[in-house]
């Protein structure tokens, strides 16, 4: 029983660490603001949720009521992150778009990626 539970815990937290690594590499290596926010938002949310689920599974080693309560609280934090993380990413992205940060590829003037016209942006 404990063996299977440990496997689940290691699996969840390991996947979480891998996604965290991907998010960090993405933030450092992606070329512009929008793609970096893409990496930060998606990778952070998923990896944090995975690690938290791993922690919640670890609490089930002692199946009494107090551990179950702690596991439930951790799952609740995961739900909260599932709501707030993407929303915060969207808000930052929207603010960056509103303050006219250039896309990748517009700096050398070759491609114009303006999705809305200039007079609508203000």
Interacting residues with another protein (CB under 8 A): 80, 83-84, 87, 90-91, 94-95, 98-99, 122
Contact 6, 54 (CB under 8 A): no
Dihedral sign for Cα 85, 90, 93, 98, please: negative
If you ran DSSP here, which 8-state letter would residue 30 be given?
A: -
Compare residues 76 and 104 and give the one whose CB is closer to another protein.
Answer: 76
CB 90, min distance to another protein, A? 5
Considering beta carbons, is residue 15 or 77 the nearer one to another protein?
77
Rounded CA separation 109/104 (Å)? 10
The CB-of-94 to another protein minimum distance in angstroms stands at: 7
CB of 9 to another protein, least distance (A): 18
Least distance in Å: CB of 4 to another protein? 26
Complex with another protein: residue 94 or 102, whichever CB lies closer? 94
Exposure string (b/e) for 13-33, b if CB count within 10 Å is 16 or more? bebbeebbeebeebbeebeeb
Query: Residue 25 or 80: which CB sits closer to another protein?
Result: 80
First to last CA, the chain: 61
């Amino acid at each position: 029983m404990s063996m299977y539970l440990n496997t689940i815990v290691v699996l969840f937290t390991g996947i979480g660490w891998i996604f965290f690594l991907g998010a960090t590499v993405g933030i450092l290596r992606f070329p512009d603001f929008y793609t970096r926010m893409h990496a930060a938002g998606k990778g952070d949310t998923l990896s944090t949720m995975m690690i938290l689920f791993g922690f919640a599974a670890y609490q089930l080693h002692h199946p009494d009521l107090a551990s179950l309560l702690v596991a439930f609280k951790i799952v609740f934090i995961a739900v909260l992150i599932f709501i707030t993380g993407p929303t915060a990413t969207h808000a930052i992205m929207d603010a960056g778009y509103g303050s006219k940060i250039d896309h990748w590829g517009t700096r050398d003037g070759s491609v114009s990626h303006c999705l809305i016209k200039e007079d609508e942006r203000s």
